[in-house]
Amino acid sequence: MLLSCAKPQTMPNEAISCIHKYMLDFDICKCCIIRLTNGRCQQIDLLNVFHSQAYPDEFICKLCFGLLHNPYLCDIPRNLNESQNEMEFTNEEFDKYVLLYLYKELNGSRYQYTAYQLRVTEPINIILREQFLWDELICMSIDHVNNTSNSSTIEKLNNPQITFTKDDINALRSYAIPVKTAWKWIVDEKLSSLLKAPLIYSLRNDTELKLIKTNELIVNNSNYDQESNIICITVEFANFFIQSDYNEFLSYLERSPLNAIRSWLVRSKSIKIPRKRSRFHYEKELNMNPSEKELFKDEKVIEELTTKTLSSQTFNSNVNSSICNPYSVINIGYTLPKSFHFSRGLLTELIPLLKDVCLQSNYLRKISSSNCSPAFITSLEIVRSVPLYLAGRYVKLSRRLSQSPWIIGSQRKLDSSVEELITQPILPRFGANAQSCFITSGREDVDVRCLGLGRPFAIELSNYELLPSQIIQRWSVNNNLDVECNEDEPLDLLKLASFINSTTQGRVFIRDLQLVSSKSATAALKLGEMHKAKCYRAVCWCPQGGINTELLMKMLQYTTLLNRTNENIDHVNTIHWPPNKINSIKYGKIYFGPLDIHQLTPIRVLHRRPLLNRKRTIYHLCFMSYVETIGANIFEFDDFKSWSKLYPEDELFILEIRCEAGTYVKELVHGDLGRCNPSLASIFGRQLDILALDVIGVELDWPTRLKDPILN
């Protein structure tokens, strides 16, 4: 596809020709010249220049280090036709050409994809050398030569052909095309032919997303991200001149009289840039005898030899040359010496300050006659462009199970968690490199069950190998992808849910498992975390005789009785403990509400939560007699029966609460030493405690309800 750039200000053809001539004197390739001087350049224009240029093998552009002209960096050995495949290239070619190397690594990764993205990090000193180029061109401009007092008449007379100004140079640099963009334009056709998939430049471009080949069912379904079919190839390039270019750049900046640049220099020398640990295994790569291996176990020796080899820019055929081959464009694992600290972020801040500065570096002119080695690839990472989201609801049936792994220090407190029970069976089925992030609409404590329809959750899967269409075919009960379906119909994964349920030993049960879009998952879970109501049921203990009518009357000072059946009846007369039974219900209930409370962060979570005063609304409180409720022999209360063996039955009561999300229910009951105001303990003037708590409802209508999973 063709991509265009913004148009720079119009310049005379004579000025452009003059600038081209000076750039050629600096040993700059034609592709670099057109990307720097033609802001209207399109992909087809750059490709025409690329195919027209012919350089000897030893020529390397001083700006792009061969990225835009060297066949080993941006081309393949020969043209492809549809019948050609991997077997027609030799192993030597796979190790010599960057594009063939990318193709081999991607094919070996087992990722399934229908399109790909390409993210490129070019050598950082390309930016430095471009700055040197603009500086030298500004020094040659008409207004600079005429306004410089120490410029000799001979210099002016020797440059009668100069027709460009400093403003012309600044206009060009403002619209110059980056090397990484030009490189992607050049390799697009070749790499897409190898991978048999289109290159997607932007995930925000709907036209490009239509290039993704996938099943019609998936494309038209709003519960699915089309971008999930895309693989992302991240490539990082470097070269051996970064350190020397940086040193020259610092000395160049030190000549500046501007305080802003001097301030930048001070910051750049004081900030320590964190470095990634190298993935390069020296002992594995180096062909050494045992005595040499013992020597290289010392990290200081490795660092010294590596730094010496790379900084000198002279490459001897000794053991050190095996660390990084100067004649190869593939040096995976190469890292800069530890003494080198350089931040792209700092450099981005600096470049605008240099727009109108002319410091007469002459650096490119100095190195124009010296040899230049090509850039090489140092890092390759293959990942999914966007994560895949699975959503469902989980029912937690155990009171000894945390939601996430409970580890303090290095000691594990419980053998498993809800997150692990759900995600561990899933990950191996999505690929060896698949990773997950478990997201829920709120959380419950270790000793709290989650019943009813369960708590909504989402699993963010990254680096999954299968295409979503393959996932549907394998794990959906409606896996016939040939039939047309409604675009809003959920993409169920009920077979996978059944498999997970068979591995949890009855501690967790999941339902409504399905594919969802990232937008749906993040919006729904965030909404449910703080803006939806939740329902709880608890067994509470009230010592010194338990609940009575007198205590319930005190609730009227704070709230209203909700279960009045006749407005003319005095509500005071309807309060009675134990509650009166209504119709066929085997136990009575008394409802109060609503009630506004203020809760300071509870002491039990203060070590991990900020100290805040939270206002929460209790929509209703329902009091039930423990004796009558347990005596009704209803299965949902069976878990509460054991408490009668530890506490007198007449001191126990059952409490149901419907409250705003984010309410600390335990503290609502016992008061948390006065940090919850009011609390049931403060209202009754009695010590209260909560013995067992269940979440019985999360009022969030997401994800879509499905039929029950297939039971094995």
Q: Could you list the active site residues?
A: 445
591 and 555 Cβ atoms separated by less than 8 Å: no
Q: What are phi and psi of 135, to 5 degrees?
A: -65, -45
Say how many C-beta atoms besides its own lie within 10 A of residue 273's C-beta. 12
Burial class of residue 218 (count of CB atoms within 10 Å of its CB; 0-12, 13-18, 19+): buried
For 94, the token pair is: 């796979």
In 3D, which of 391, 377, 468, 373 has the Cα closest to residue 430?
A: 468
123 and 242 Cβ atoms separated by less than 8 Å: yes
498 and 706 Cβ atoms separated by less than 8 Å: no
575 and 552 Cβ atoms separated by less than 8 Å: yes
Round to the nearest angstrom and report the end-to-end CA distance of the chain.
50
Sole residue written with tokens 């030569």: 145
For 161, the token pair is: 């052909």
SS3 readout for 217-251: HHHCCCCCCHHHHEEEEEEEEECCCHHHHHHHHHH
- Residues 479, 470: Cα–Cα separation, whole Å: 9
In 3D, which of 539, 677, 686 has the Cα closest to residue 618?
A: 677
> In b/e form, how buried is each residue of 458-489, taking b as 16+ CB within 10 angstroms?
bbbbbbbbbbbbebbeebbeeeeeeeeeeeee
- Residues 645, 173: Cα–Cα separation, whole Å: 82
690 and 667 Cβ atoms separated by less than 8 Å: no
- Residues 595, 608: Cα–Cα separation, whole Å: 28
Say how many C-beta atoms besides its own lie within 10 A of residue 505's C-beta. 9
**Under DSSP, is residue 458 helix (H, G, I), strand (E, B) or coil?**
strand
599's enclosing H/E stretch is: strand 595-600
Bridge-based pairing of strands 115-121 and 230-238 is parallel
How many alpha carbons lie under 13 Å from residue 319 in its C-beta half-sphere?
A: 15
